[in-house]
Amino acid sequence: MTSSPTPPATSNAGYSIADGNAASRNAYGWAKKTFPNRAGRPGEPAQDLDGGFSNEIRFGQERLGISSDGIGTKIEVAERLNRYDTLGYDLIAMTADDLIAAGFVPTNLSNIIDVNSLNYSVVDELMRGLHDAANFAGLAITGGEIAELGNRIGGWPGARMNFNWCSTAIGVLHPSLERPLSGVGVRAGMAVVALRSPSFRSNGFSLARRTLINLFGENWHEATYDGPDAANFSTWGDAMLAPSLIYSPGISALLDAGLPLHGIAHITGGGVADNFQRVLKGGVGAVLDNLFSPLPAMQRLCELGGISAEDAYLYWNMGNGMLLVTEEASAAAVVAQLQAGGYDAQVAGRITADPGVTLRVGAGELRYS
């Protein structure tokens, strides 16, 4: 099976990844025009992480990373289930793992909760979960705000509180690195290591929700979950709310151990192929022939909703939350270190001299250029 170089103008998710990437590039282009404002002064931005989800700012010899993100429409799942204490893991994963993907160890986070009208107990559940996630990731929550915006914020009807939740995190460049990880050192023959994701994380929910609505109607979250892992979830809502695993502690441990990393892709919006191509600089490509199998819930949605493998690997992580590029000779040690830290990891493929990403998965061979 071969995919087109870019997805169709409109997809099952209702938008084009190509259009989204173009809008992001345009927004970043405007942002870069402000970089001269801090040239030669504290807070000077670097420009060697173009295409990444975090960037570098310099304060003298100190090199910090900064990343902003939110948890998107996964919030609606929490509203439907009236359960909010896991979303903090999603919020931290989106920014902390973007930072560590560039070699910045996350240290601090600020967050903002925009609400229609304030509900104390919901905010307490959100912040309790954020506290637990911050303890797992080893960072401090050092800023935040709650803003009541009335009917500017909508969501699931009947929820105790409708809201949007975003954060900005900063981190410090790991002392073993001379410069952020950007993929410039990636060469043919290097190994690719995958870390398993046990959930959808906070991406691809528009496609997933649309599929579930088509299958089960507006109350899809109450529909009985019938995936192969049905012992873990009673409803589709339970399966979709599973929290994100935070990878930054495991990657920090690799760097602490002195294991070589040349590029890291955090698999978020844009799926496996689109995100991994961000670290393939200099015309190299990759063949990934040993990725983790798709999550049972993702596989079941593909079967029920008629979602092609090409689309699924473009919109979802398909069970692979992060891809690391390391030396071939170090791949086994990288996998062992990650497994010792409680993460599922395995060698997933190799870097090739030919450009493009080829995925050899159960559905066949998918090629993305």
Most confident of 7-21, 29-43, 323-337: 323-337
Q: 154-186 burial by CB neighbour count: b if 16+ within 10 A, else e?
A: ebbeebebbbbbbbebbbbbbeeeeebbbbebb
Report whether pLDDT(151) > 60.
yes
Q: Compute the average pLDDT of residues 196-212.
A: 93
Tokens of 283: 């015309």
Report whether pLDDT(7) > 70.
no
46 and 195: one domain? no
Report whether pLDDT(4) > 90.
no
Total number of domains in the chain: 2
pTM: 0.90
Contact 273, 366 (CB under 8 A): yes
Q: Among the three residues 173, 202, 222, which one is the final residue of a domain in this structure?
A: 173
Supply the mean pLDDT for the chain: 91
pLDDT at residue 28, rounded to an integer:
78
pLDDT at residue 46, rounded to an integer:
78
Residue 355 lies in a domain: yes
Domain assignment of residue 359, given as a range = 191-368
pLDDT at residue 250, rounded to an integer:
98
Report whether pLDDT(90) > 90.
yes
Q: Among the three residues 126, 142, 173, which one is the final residue of a domain in this structure?
A: 173
Q: Compute the average pLDDT of residues 102-112.
A: 97
pLDDT band at 49 (very low <50, low <70, confident <90, very high): low
202 and 334: one domain? yes
168 and 256: one domain? no
From the list 346, 316, 320, the residue with the least C-alpha distance to 334 is: 346
Residue 17 lies in a domain: no
pLDDT at residue 52, rounded to an integer:
55
348 and 300: one domain? yes
Q: What is the CATH number of the domain that holds 241?
A: 3.90.650.10
Tokens of 365: 């061979």
